[in-house]
Amino acid sequence: MREIVFDTETTGLDPQSGDRMVEIGCVELVNRVETGATFHAYFNPQRDMPAQAEAVHGLSAAFLSDKPLFGALADDLMAFLGDAPLIAHNAAFDFGFLNAELKACGREPVSLDRMVDTVAIARKKHPGAKLSLDALCTRYGVDRSHRVKHGALLDAELLAQVYVELTGGRQIGLELAAEAVAVESTAGRATVRVERVFRAPRPHAATPEEQERHQAFIKQMPSPLWGK
């Protein structure tokens, strides 16, 4: 199954009051494995950047001034998203900005039926715990030491790892199939193959010598429970 984990950076909290998306980062998963295919873009919001927002993501109006408008890359973005489920942290926020930008350039919004919210998953799995991306990275041992400021692609990459753990984890080393499984992904014109090599089960039965030593050992036990 193909899924897209994504994150956005914006000029503020509410697209209905004039705030705009300035960055989007998307990471492709196939069968819960990262394929290496990503989509990342900055956008010129055609407005100022409030100091509070710049303090979060570090994107200034000057930096964004020569970036393309959202509409110029909308077709590329939608081709990458395809019809896959879209995973985000506090997904209603990111969907709100994505659909506001699509509407502004005359495109159909993304259906909310495709929305997967990792905050909702985490709240159900860890009631009462902290649910921020940083907190979940700490809980699941996801390295975020290189996260100085928010960045859409970096946060999507971190969230992809957290999402896999929230939904069962990869259980590395527990697969017992002998063959390698290939995961194929098509994103735009690129095809990526990720080889997952599974380990064969190790023999674990006791040898006759080990069984003999075990019997000798338990005979030394006074009044064992299983003898009553």
Beta bridge partners of 25: 7, 40
Q: What is the C-alpha to C-alpha distance for residues 35 and 165, in angstroms, rounded to an integer?
A: 17
Length of the chain in terms of residues written: 228
* Identified catalytic residue from 126, 150, 204, 214: 150
**What is residue 8's three-state secondary structure?**
strand
Report how far residue 109's alpha carbon sits from residue 101's, in angstroms, rounded to the nearest whole number. 9
The token duo for 135 is 């907190």
Residue 40 catalytic?
Answer: no
**DSSP state letter for 130:** -
Distant-in-sequence, close-in-space partners of 76: CB < 8 Å, separation ≥ 6: 39, 41, 188
Q: Residue 167, Cβ neighbours under 10 Å: how many?
A: 14
Q: Strand, helix or coil at 169?
A: coil
Active site residues: 150
